[in-house]
Amino acid sequence: MTRLCASKPIITVNGKFPGPTLYAREGDTVIVRVVNHVKDNATIQWHGVRQLRTGWADGPAYITQCPIQTGQSYVYNFNLTGQRGTLLWHAHINWQRATVHGAIVILPKRGVPYPFPKPDKEVIIVLGEWWKSDVEAVINQAMQLGQAPNVSDAHTINGLPGPAPNCSSKGYTLHVENGKTYLLRIVNAAVNEELFFKIAGHNLTIVEVDASYTKPFKTDTIFIGPGQTTNALLTANKETGNYVIAISPFMDTVVATDNQTATGTLHYKGTLAFSPTTLATIPPRNATPVTTKFMDSLRSLNSKQYPANVPKNIDHSLFFAIGVGVNPCPTCVNGSRAVADINNVSFVMPTTAILQAHYYNISGVYTDDFPANPLIPYNYTGSPPTNMQTMNGTKVYRLGYNSTVQVVLQGTSMIAPESHPTHLHGYNFYAVGKGVGNYDPKNDPKNFNLVDPVERNTISVPTGGWTAIRFRADNPGVWFLHCHLEVHTTWGLKMVFVVENGKGPTESILPPPSDLPKC
């Protein structure tokens, strides 16, 4: 692929970057045969698809399956039960998802309308990142040196960076017509960036996130983390003209700097050639108030047809302190290396998939002792940090089938506070509360929204603050929870829930497919 005026080999799906869009309807069965034609191992995750009882098709390497090896194939077979909207698929091994990703469109069942005015047209917008160097070289830097990896050289809109320093590469153009309404299905497939998205001179009406309908609200800026999806209505209310479409990174700390903005053009039909383009005001890199306002505006639609069912009584109350710290490393340049952890445990990937170990009762792959709370409570958002060190382990936390779960995700400031877009596989959860500083278990729950909190699969844990999520563990299996910034996942910011088989057949996972890859 040629981007930024240089060519390099990349891994693609069916020769496309971004990859093909998967179109389906709510209730459909999806069958995708993935054939690995590259020298690296591969897997695909259907990010946000609930995978009810079909954990074998979820996709994270060494969690629910062994990778598909060179020359081999695997058929992902799953149902789209009770979900409609936009999601994404992406590779789920190393950093392969940098180039291996695409959108999933789940239309409502035939004859069922959207709960918002029918758009004239639907548009897929996939946001991504581009490195001039090989992505494997970037990951090696993060792993071997234990240092922050190079930030990408560009952001992309549907694979195109737009004009960049020293290269007039072309950007994405969205053609619109005065008076028409467009449903933008926006996917953040970036590797390490939460992003702002905006269109000069236009407001957007948010109607859905992570394949869950929301109460519609107007905004001039969308905040979207990697793994998140947002459906927004755009009304083309100008006669003619060109308007900048811009995506820019949100990074509210100075751990890495990245000011790259990717631009595209919203082009009205009938606009004269050489008409000027209206520029967008891009939020500053550290525009935390913009992210807060956006997240606070998100509410479940909570209609009769699409009710919010927020668990009221909680069986498992968990507190996860998540962050990035440093561990000693005699062989590293600085004598230390960055690690990331949850409750002081930096997760080590096993060499056998945890779901297989669980299903076949193979011992020695993981231990059952993931801590429900930090080992030693400390001032999570204080400075200086008080609890920098971590232990390694492949630890899981067991949840009873159909139990109700609350997880408070507490951001910490071990090195520097950072926002963490945290993703849970196998479930949607309700984001019932959030706040700055340390979570107060006595008073904060009084302000939880148990009526219409937004339902999603990936949530930003705010810098120097916390987010509380709730879900019902109604999907048996082995489910990954991790920061969707790939660098933090790589450093160990991840853990696994094992949801126990119950007695009846609906409470157990289905048997594995016969072509399940072997490790």
Choice between 299 and 423, CB closer to ligand C2O: 423
Binding mask 408-437 for ligand C2O (x = CB under 6 A): ---------------x-x------------
Shortest separation between residue 431's beta carbon and ligand C2O, angstroms = 17
Assess 311 for contact with ligand C2O (CB under 6 A). Answer: no
Amino acid at 448: F
With respect to ligand C2O, which residue has the nearer C-beta, 63 or 232?
63
38, two tokens: 């590259």
3-state secondary structure of 290: helix
Q: Which one, 225 or 371, has the nearer CB to ligand C2O?
A: 225
Q: How far is the CB of 318 from ligand C2O (least distance, A)?
A: 19
Nearer to ligand C2O, 92 or 337 (CB): 92
Q: How many residues comprise the chain?
A: 519
Q: Mask of contacts with ligand C2O, 20-59, x by CB under 6 A?
A: -------------------------x-x------------
Show the DSSP H helices in 354-477 as ranges. Answer: 354-360
DSSP 8-state code for residue 234: E
CA 281 to CA 268: how far, in whole Å? Answer: 20
Output the residue with the shortest Cβ distance to ligand C2O. 47
Find the binder of ligand C2O among 227, 241, 264, 492 (CB under 6 A). Answer: 227
Nearer CB in complex with ligand C2O: 63/310: 63
Give the DSSP letter of residue 148: P
Reading the block at residue 416, the tokens are: 């520097």
**Separation CA 37–CA 229 (nearest Å):** 29
Structure tokens at 249: 């990174």
Q: Retrieve residue 80's tokens.
A: 């789209």
412 and 323 Cβ atoms separated by less than 8 Å: yes
Distance of closest approach, residue 435 Cβ to ligand C2O, in angstroms: 26
CA atoms of 306 and 114, how far apart (whole Å) = 11
Nearer to ligand C2O, 210 or 252 (CB): 210
CB of 151 to ligand C2O, least distance (A): 20
Q: How many residues bind ligand C2O (CB under 6 A)?
A: 11
Distance of CA 71 to the CA centre of its chain: 29
Closest to ligand C2O by CB, 198 or 482:
482
Buried b (16+ CB within 10 A) or exposed e, 15-25: eebbbebbebe
Q: Which lies closer to ligand C2O via its Cβ, residue 190 or residue 290?
A: 190
495 within 8 A of 489, measured Cβ to Cβ: no
Burial of 295 (0-12, 13-18, 19+ CB in 10 A): middle
Minimum distance of ligand C2O from residue 422's CB (angstroms): 10
Nearer residue to ligand C2O within complex by CB, 50 or 423: 423
- What track of x and - describes contact with ligand C2O for positions 474 through 493 (by CB under 6 A)? ------x-x-x---------
Positions in 87-106 near ligand C2O (CB under 6 A): 90, 92
Task: For 144, list phi and psi in degrees, rounded to 5.
Answer: -70, -40
| Cα 391 from Cα 343, distance rounded (Å) | 10
Please identify which residue in 55, 60, 264, 374 interacts with ligand C2O, judged by CB under 6 A: 60
Which residue number, 227 or 492, has a Cβ lying nearer to ligand C2O? Answer: 227
From residue 47, alpha-carbon distances to 11, 91, 122, 269, 418 in Å are: 19, 10, 21, 35, 23
Question: 83: burial class by Cβ within 10 Å (0-12, 13-18, 19+)?
Answer: buried
The least CB distance from residue 488 to ligand C2O, in Å, is 12
Site of interaction with ligand C2O (CB under 6 A): 45, 47, 60, 90, 92, 227, 423, 425, 480, 482, 484
